Amino acid sequence: MEELIREERRETPSPAPAKKHGLRLEKKKKWLLVLILAVAVLTGAAAKALGQRNRAASAQTAYTTAEVSTRDISNALSSSGTLEPANSYTVKTLVSAEILSDTFEEGDNVEKGQLLYTLDSSDAATSQTQAQNSYSQAQSSYDQAVEAKYPTADMSGTVSEVYVQNGDSVNAGTELLKIVGDNNIYIDFQFSYADPSDFYAGQSATVYINGFAGTIQGTVQQISTSTSASGNAAGSGRQMTTVRVRATNPGLVTSDYTASAVIGNYSSYGQAAIKVSATSVVTAETSGKISGFNYLVGDTIQSGDRVCTLTGDSVDNSIENARISLSNAGTSLRNAQDKLDDYKVTAPISGTVVTKTAKAGDSIEGGSTGTLCTIYDLSYLEMTMNIDELDISLVEVGQTVEITADAVEGKAYTGVVTKVSVAGTTSGGITTYPVTVRIDETDGLLPGMNVDAEIVIAEKGSVLAVPSGAVNRGGMVMITSDSPSASNALDQEAPEGYVYVQVETGISDDSYTEILSGLQEGDTIAYIAVSGGSSGMGMMGGMPSGMGGGPGGGF
């Protein structure tokens, strides 16, 4: 280089004095040319030396080779957790009392609703009786208040008298109407010197009512079966036969009247008392104004029929107050009954009693400290898997879960995803989501055991596969140049004896990746195994990094 520069200097003519500025510019151009040539020489030398080092490194690289083969691949998400029962319940009591009896032992299976404990309820029973009496009284008061607003007939019959009309204001005790049982009168006549056989039921009788003009017709209803001697004022001692006659009441005939009768050829002896049907007077039981009163004398009325309605603040306030009292009494009664029920402790769920902390004869304090026993429903077990936020979208209800437990060696269990929660938990910048897994076949498993679980996301059988570390970024795989698929080699510089081919991948597990296209059985792949195993990606996607034609080149 120095010789080149000296030669350049010798060939350069001395500048003429008249052109001093122009000569300096030409001299600068020549120096620039010299500098460019020097850089080019140095770059070539460096590239030559680096290429020699790369070829030496490539020659020393040890590749792991493997045949492309078929195998089963399963992609799964793993997690660990603790087994829990299907359901659990800690039985407590709300009341403080002595335990009179218990019906089970620890380890027993119990059914939902089964009686577990009986507590001393004597005080509560007394309170319940008092509450029941108060409720009955309140109910009676309410019924009476309603009946006072709506007076009703207390017997069936005929309206014989009416005392009020619509619009009248009445007070408690005011008579509203009178009811008679029917419109008939009944009279027991006595006949002297007559034999019972002289009369028969249904026989016509002519009746004379004392104080009424004319006669009415009646019918024999009943005849005495024996005669009787009647001692009258004259002491005659006549033989008498009694005959009962029914007749329609001709008007307002009451029991104050008397009557005589002629039946066949016999006339009754003396005057007989008249009997009328039972009567009832309906009265107002509270103050108010009459409305809805539509009865007239002679109308038929049935027991329970409403006579009228009494309106006004007094009657309405009485009903409302009685209703409130009844409601309060009902609440007190229900509370007393509920409290009484608390003295009989039943199983809230079906399951196995795992702990029993109280027994007959113990005095138990109610509330949070009143624990009696604990029941587990062991019909199935559950566990919770915490799944990373990057994988939770792959999990669905119904997916199969493979479960193993260190406590049960050599046995695997199958579970199913029953719930995927959206309530995530963030810790250290990573969010996980709880996934509930149910295990129905639990032989050998117990609540509290630690288990490992895998959710199978995807699985395929008998697929072409290669070690995952052999697949480079961009989906390229290096194979030996004598492999059948080498005919599809890429225009990518590779180490001597190898070529690159483009592949399409499918599912993968921790070690192998499915090859959908680009390779075939009989191909031999080459890759640099990561320290500790063949899984995972090698340096620069499974090959050592380098510049140019090394096995990691072309990226």
pLDDT tens for residues 477-529? 999 999 999 999 999 999 999 999 999 999 888 789 999 999 999 999 999 88
Lowest mean pLDDT among 52-61, 94-103, 442-451: 52-61
Give the β-pairing of 238-248 and 228-230.
Answer: antiparallel
Alpha-carbon dihedral angle through residues 215, 219, 221, 226, given to the nearest 10 degrees: 70
The rounded distance, in Å, linking the Cα atoms of 5 and 41 is 14
| Whole-number pLDDT of residue 552 | 37
Q: Which two tokens stand for residue 218?
A: 């009646």
pLDDT tens for residues 387-409? 999 999 999 999 999 999 999 99
The answer on pLDDT for 447 being more than 60 is yes
The rounded distance, in Å, linking the Cα atoms of 7 and 10 is 5
| Distinct helix (H) and strand (E) counts, the chain | 5, 35
The answer on pLDDT for 374 being more than 50 is yes
CB 401 within 8 A of CB 453: yes
Instruction: For residue 162, give the nearest of 290, 298, 289, 275 by alpha carbon.
Output: 298
Q: Above pLDDT 70, what percent of the chain?
A: 82
pLDDT tens for residues 171-215? 999 999 999 887 789 999 999 888 899 999 999 999 999 988 889
| Whole-number pLDDT of residue 157 | 87
Mean pLDDT over residues 30-46, rounded? 46
The answer on pLDDT for 32 being more than 70 is no
pLDDT tens for residues 281-338? 999 999 999 999 999 998 999 999 999 999 999 999 999 999 999 999 999 999 999 8
Q: Which two tokens stand for residue 478?
A: 């290096």
The answer on pLDDT for 136 being more than 70 is yes
| Whole-number pLDDT of residue 162 | 96
pLDDT tens for residues 98-107? 999 999 999 9
pLDDT tens for residues 216-268? 999 999 998 766 665 543 345 667 899 999 998 887 788 889 999 999 999 99
State phi, psi for 531 to the nearest 5 degrees. -55, 130
Q: Is 27 helix (H, G, I), strand (E, B) or coil?
A: helix
Amino acid identity at 212: F
The answer on pLDDT for 24 being more than 50 is no
The rounded distance, in Å, linking the Cα atoms of 137 and 133 is 6
pLDDT tens for residues 160-175? 899 999 999 999 999 9
pTM for the structure as a whole: 0.51
Higher-confidence position of 517 and 369: 517
| Whole-number pLDDT of residue 227 | 64
What residues form DSSP beta bridges with 188? Answer: 244
* DSSP code, position 62: P
Lowest mean pLDDT among 406-410, 435-439, 455-459: 455-459
In order, the DSSP letters of 87-145 are: EEEEEE-SS-EEEEEE---TT-EE-TT-EEEEE--HHHHHHHHHHHHHHHHHHHHHHHH
Amino acid identity at 425: T
| Whole-number pLDDT of residue 531 | 56
The answer on pLDDT for 533 being more than 80 is no
| Whole-number pLDDT of residue 208 | 95
Higher-confidence position of 453 and 53: 453
CB 263 within 8 A of CB 191: yes
In whole angstroms, how far apart are CA 102 and each of 93, 320, 346?
14, 47, 10
CB 286 within 8 A of CB 264: no
| Whole-number pLDDT of residue 549 | 34
The answer on pLDDT for 45 being more than 80 is no
CB 113 within 8 A of CB 494: no
Q: Above pLDDT 90, what percent of the chain?
A: 68
The rounded distance, in Å, linking the Cα atoms of 506 and 99 is 67
The rounded distance, in Å, linking the Cα atoms of 472 and 552 is 9
